[in-house]
Structure 1
Amino acid sequence: MNELHATDRFSDRVADYVRYRPDYPAALLDWLKNEHGVDGSWDVADVGAGTGISAKLFLDAGHRVVAVEPNAPMRAAAEQWLGSNPAFHARDGRADATGLAGASIDLIVVAQAFHWFAEVATRREFARILRPGGLAVIVWNTRRLDGTPFLEGYEALLQHYGTDYTRVAERYADEPRMRAWFGAGFRGAARFDHGQRLDFDALKGRLMSSSYAPAPGHPQHAPMLAALRELFEATAVNRRIDFTYDTRAYVGHLS
């Protein structure tokens, strides 16, 4: 984790992250409610909350949410966006050192961040802050890699131009690994369809929100954007492309 600079690698990408990263499907909330008994009275800790995308989903469902985020620019963006809601609070903290009181949280949410965490220390910290009967849910929007010319071309573009794309991409966990992490407390997994329809400017912003995309000034930045434009022109329908995901969620108790 340290060699990938997990805490600060998004600091120069906050604006693109806020504008162009996808949200999470409402079906996730329905699944947590109908299958696992989660309702709006549950206090939520969104750990690795970033700019607040996942926090907003739970705020809108009536939860009180504390966003735990170590990256100061991302945390500031979340506070600017959501801070007027009295049910929202943001704090500086890490997954293995949240600073939250013991047995103070009903539901821990980790959206698009678990692969940056130190898993053993994080499990210990999550078990400490959860109330008896509380749950943790680990969520990823996993970009589909094939199935359309755009998706296949975009994956090839990242493989060619991404600065450390392979190392980051390989860090997403699958169900066997999540079962092992939860251990006997594992309670279920789900998959939901999700996606964005993007024009070229939004597609460019979505690409530049990724930490492995060469930034302006890098010798690969301009060639990458030229390749992105070529891909868009070849695959767009009505000046839009479908950027599709499988949203995967894993839930369980920790002790």
Structure 2
Amino acid sequence: MKNSTSRFSDRVDNYIKYRPGYPLEVLEHLKTNCGLTADSLIADIGSGTGISSRLFLDHHNTVYGVEPNQEMRHAAEKLLQEYTHFHSIDATAEKTHLPADSFDFIIAGQAFHWFSQELARQEFQRIIHPNGWVVLIWNERQTDTTPFLIDYEQLLLEFATDYKQVNHTNLSREDFARFFHPHQLHTATLPSQQSFDLESLTGRLLSSSYAPNIGQTGYREILERLQEIFHQHQVNGAVDFKYDTNLYYGHIR
């Protein structure tokens, strides 16, 4: 299995272009249920190319983005350079180098399953305010709600290199319950969607670290199969990814 820090290094361009953002309803949910305001100080752990950071930056929050992958971190710094309240940190979830007792919210978008959970928990407890919130977010692609999504999931199971091993759905509710303060785990699910033509669908596939990339075994085969299922299911030249944007949040102190 590839190193979790470096495995996206050759995927950055596709990641920027084709990965989904997070719906604005995430902000509304956190405002209503966790007291999020524009003054809340945010630590975005595993901030990648800045997709999750941008959601909060547009809400006028100050965000510290912690990302160990050099290529992704540099991409975020370039994409978010207009935001003077974004601070890029070369560090890991387990050792963020952020000040203690400082943050109102710690967020992790599409990243928590890469962390060493117990070490990250200790670090999060160190940097968060006593009553601060940790919010773990995933855009979880629906796998069986349309014929296209069923075929796309089968494509990954057949051709993707370590899809089963790194899939974040390997995490159980018990894993989340252990991470948060006892009886403090809250969840929410919000709908979102992306539409793709063939070019952007190909980019979306190749943004995933488990998909064979150019020059790797299985690259030609997975793209041939992708084209087949696209042409089988497209309507007016497009197919849809439907997502459940899942939030797991609570206190850890």
* TM-score of the two chains, using structure 1 as the length reference: 0.96
Per the alignment, residue 154 of structure 2 pairs with 156
Per the alignment, residue 122 of structure 1 pairs with 120
Q: How much does 1:223 deviate?
A: 1.1
Tell me if the contact between 1:83 and 1:89 (Cα under 8 Å) persists in the aligned partners.
Answer: no
* Secondary structure in 1 matching 2:101: coil
Q: How much does 1:185 deviate?
A: 6.2
- Within 5 A, what are the aligned runs for 1:28-177? 28-169=26-167, 172-177=170-175
Amino acid at match of 2:7: R
Q: Distance in 2 between matches of 1:6 and 1:128?
A: 23
How big is each residue's C-alpha offset from its partner over 1:61-106, in whole Å with a ceiling of 9 and x where there is no partner? 1100010000000000000000221111101010010000101111
- Within 5 A, what are the aligned runs for 1:138-217? 138-169=136-167, 172-184=170-182, 186-217=184-215
Q: Distance in 2 between matches of 1:106 and 1:193?
A: 26
Q: Distance in 2 between matches of 1:171 and 1:146?
A: 14
How big is each residue's C-alpha offset from its partner over 1:203-231, in whole Å with a ceiling of 9 and x where there is no partner? 00000000011011123101110110010
Tell me if the contact between 2:176 and 2:185 (Cα under 8 Å) persists in the aligned partners.
Answer: no
* Secondary structure in 1 matching 2:181: helix
Q: How much does 1:170 deviate?
A: 5.4
The answer to whether residue 4 in structure 2 is matched with residue 6 in structure 1 is: yes
Runs (4+) of structure 1 exceeding 6 A deviation are none
Change (3 A) 1:79 1:20: same
* Secondary structure in 2 matching 1:93: coil
Tell me if the contact between 1:175 and 1:189 (Cα under 8 Å) persists in the aligned partners.
Answer: no
Tell me if the contact between 2:113 and 2:168 (Cα under 8 Å) persists in the aligned partners.
Answer: no
How big is each residue's C-alpha offset from its partner over 1:172-220, in whole Å with a ceiling of 9 and x where there is no partner? 4343321221032625110011110111111000000000110111231
The answer to whether residue 240 in structure 2 is matched with residue 242 in structure 1 is: yes
CA RMSD of aligned residues (A): 1.2
| Runs (5+) with no aligned partner, structure 2 | none
| Runs (5+) with no aligned partner, structure 1 | none
Amino acid at match of 1:40: A
What fraction of aligned residue pairs are identical, expressed as a percent? 43
Q: How much does 1:246 deviate?
A: 0.7
Tell me if the contact between 2:44 and 2:65 (Cα under 8 Å) persists in the aligned partners.
Answer: yes
* Secondary structure in 2 matching 1:250: strand
Change (3 A) 1:33 1:76: same
Tell me if the contact between 2:179 and 2:252 (Cα under 8 Å) persists in the aligned partners.
Answer: no
How many residues of Structure 1 are paired with residues of Structure 2 in the alignment?
253
Q: Distance in 2 between matches of 1:59 and 1:169?
A: 28
Amino acid at match of 2:237: R
* Secondary structure in 1 matching 2:105: strand
Q: How much does 1:149 deviate?
A: 1.0
Amino acid at match of 1:81: L
